[in-house]
Structure 1
Amino acid sequence: MVVLKVTLLEGRSLEKKRELVKRLTEVASRILYEPHEEVRVILYEVCKDQWAAGGVLLSDKEGA
């Protein structure tokens, strides 16, 4: 079994997340020789006031 954990900012559409999960599964399956059914993908969505870059919250960068 393969477990892929992806952390991303919230706000992407369900359609985009479906596409990401599908493609990650396909690539992991092909490279690691695992059946699609054995690839798990966990999406962790983080809001912009809980993510910082360069010492600044992303929610604060948007307001600037």
Structure 2
Amino acid sequence: MPYVNIQVTDENVTKEQKLQLVQGVTQLLVDVLDKNPETTHIVIQEVPVDNWGVRGNLYSTLKKQK
């Protein structure tokens, strides 16, 4: 039973985009690892930009600097 956790920043990811991620990752596991889609679980977690760090900074801070 594959379990995949996708974490993205909470920047307006639509329900349709999430569905595309779930469908695409599920199909990838079917194609590459011959996994059963009926027992494949995908979880999408949206992380606030204040809780995401990159290059030694908070992503929210870097985003404001642009």
TM-score between both structures, scaled by the size of structure 1: 0.89
Distance in 2 (CA, whole Å) between partners of 1:18 and 1:10 is 16
What is the root-mean-square deviation of aligned Cα atoms in Å?
A: 1.0
Displaced runs of 4 or more, over 4 A: none
Q: Which residue of 1 aligns with 2:3?
A: 3
In structure 2, the gaps of 5 or more residues are none
Distance in 1 (CA, whole Å) between partners of 2:63 and 2:8 is 17
- Per-residue CA distance 1:7-56 (angstroms, 9 max, x = gap): 11112111111101100001101211122111110112111000111111
State the number of aligned residues. 64
Contact 1:29 1:39 in 2 (8 A): no
SS at match of 2:44: strand
SS at match of 1:44: strand
TM-score between both structures, scaled by the size of structure 2: 0.86
Distance in 2 (CA, whole Å) between partners of 1:8 and 1:36 is 23
